[in-house]
Structure 1
Amino acid sequence: MLLYLHGFRSSPQSFKAQLVQARMREWGVGRYYACPTLNVSPALAVAQAEAAIRAAQAGGDQEIAIVGSSLGGFYARWLGERHGCKTVLLNPAIHPWTDLESYLGEQPLWHGGGSVTVERRHLQELLDLRVDTITRPERYCLIAATGDEVLDYREMVEACPGANIRVIEGSDHGISEFADYVDDVLAFCGYGPGGKVPAGAGAA
């Protein structure tokens, strides 16, 4: 299974999530794609991700890969350490318990209208998911944009020593050119035009 974790105030309708899903469908492996609508509570969001992983394992899919964007990238680091799986981080949040301090209260969603309410307890939940040092960095792929207007790409690089790192000069927080990188992301996760590829073949 490939588990895609969207960012703060985002959803499965984000353009990166849709690109990943569309390419997997094109390659005949769309059934392995999962992208839950994550709760604003970090503890509940991670529980949702864990539930998706358990459902995939119960269905016989033992190989898991995770792709996380922004706040979803923060969750992906924690889950990657917990499950020892291939993990791709797209402009990931590194210390969101600080970043979200200024977003306490009701915040509008990017897709479909509606809003979420960020509570102070959510900051502690983020702290509880902190990963100080990644292990087996070869399992990680980081794509970081120097033009990210929300997060500092240098903190992302510093947080992923030894990982497969690609720094994009310019771009933005959403990685507008993600269509240029989606195939590489899926290859790292073990997918190609012919479907799933042998274990290890997707490593960069």
Structure 2
Amino acid sequence: MVKRVIYIHGFNSSEKSYKAVRFGELMANYDVDYCVPRLNHEPLQAILQLEHLLTPDTALLGSSLGGFYATYLSQRYNLRAAVINPAVAPFNLLAPLIGRNYNPYQDYHYELNTSHINALKALYVPKLTSPELLYLLQQTGDEVLNYQHAINYFSQCKQLVEFGGDHSFVGFERTVNSIVEFLKLPKIN
């Protein structure tokens, strides 16, 4: 039985993202420990932060780069995960951003370099070994990521694909019941 849910935010985001906060509000009806860590921009540090929070009864919810991390952790530790407009190969997307960056949600400057890109490549799962543990929520209007990459990569997984929308996943609240059901979250008695 799931006792902890970890929300994994995306690149240049924070624990205060709309989906993280809104899902947390809805978790008040469930008997789970809900965690939303503020992740380091360095991929290996972010994974270590997340691994430190994992228990065998953890489920994951990740958005964008957080979906990439959730996929890696799901397959490595045999955990259920829902991924929202996930980055499939973020090393390709972030390579052009090498250099000085600013995270406005965490209010700090940092340097993105080739070691970060290489770390993301090392975390890539080329073939999903347990696709039944993953639930893809994808909108075709995602202006940041190519939605077809996710649909193809997660082809053997449960999928909810909606026409239109955007990278933020418009109407996220409509999907919460299906996420809760997939993650098998226990309601408070």
Corresponding residue number in structure 2 for 1:46: 47
The answer as to whether partners of 1:40 and 1:117 remain within 8 angstroms in 2 is no
The answer to which structure, 1 or 2, has the higher relative contact order (CA under 8 A, 6+ apart) is: 2
Structure 2 vs 1, CA of residues 110 and 144 (structure 1 numbering), >3 Å: closer, same or farther? farther
The answer as to whether partners of 2:14 and 2:106 remain within 8 angstroms in 1 is no
Q: Equivalent of 2:16, from 3, 13, 18?
A: 13
Q: Equivalent of 1:67, from 54, 61, 68?
A: 61
Deviation at 1:135, TM superposition (A): 1.8
Deviation at 1:179, TM superposition (A): 1.2
Corresponding residue number in structure 2 for 1:117: 111
- Provide, for residues 23-62 of structure 1, a one-character-per-residue CA deviation record: whole Å limited to 9, x for no partner: 002x043x51111111111011000000111xxx3xxxx4
1:82 corresponds to 2:76: yes
Q: Distance in 2 between matches of 1:184 and 1:107?
A: 35
- Provide, for residues 50-98 of structure 1, a one-character-per-residue CA deviation record: whole Å limited to 9, x for no partner: 0111xxx3xxxx4111111100111111100111111111111111111
Structure 2: runs of 5+ lacking an equivalent = none
Q: Distance in 2 between matches of 1:50 and 1:72?
A: 13
Corresponding residue number in structure 1 for 2:131: 137
Alignment of 1:31-42 (within 5 A): 32-42=33-43
Q: Distance in 1 between matches of 2:188 and 2:133?
A: 20
Corresponding residue number in structure 1 for 2:140: 146
The answer as to whether partners of 2:80 and 2:134 remain within 8 angstroms in 1 is yes
Corresponding residue number in structure 1 for 2:95: 101
What is the DSSP-based 3-state SS (H/G/I as helix, E as strand, rest coil) of the residue aligned with 1:195? coil
Q: Find runs of 4+ consecutive structure 1 residues off by over 3 angstroms.
A: none
Structure 2 vs 1, CA of residues 174 and 116 (structure 1 numbering), >3 Å: closer, same or farther? farther
Output the amino acid matched with 2:63: S
The answer as to whether partners of 1:19 and 1:182 remain within 8 angstroms in 2 is no
Identity %: 31
Corresponding residue number in structure 2 for 1:200: none
Deviation at 1:112, TM superposition (A): 4.7
1:4 corresponds to 2:42: no
Output the amino acid matched with 1:156: A
Structure 1: runs of 5+ lacking an equivalent = 197-204
What is the DSSP-based 3-state SS (H/G/I as helix, E as strand, rest coil) of the residue aligned with 1:101? helix
Deviation at 1:137, TM superposition (A): 1.5
Q: Distance in 1 between matches of 2:21 and 2:107?
A: 18
TM-score of the superposition, structure 2-length normalised? 0.93
Q: Distance in 2 between matches of 1:4 and 1:155?
A: 22
- Provide, for residues 114-142 of structure 1, a one-character-per-residue CA deviation record: whole Å limited to 9, x for no partner: 33321111000000001011122221100
Count the aligned residue pairs. Answer: 186
Q: Distance in 1 between matches of 2:119 and 2:42?
A: 8
Q: Distance in 2 between matches of 1:108 and 1:195?
A: 40
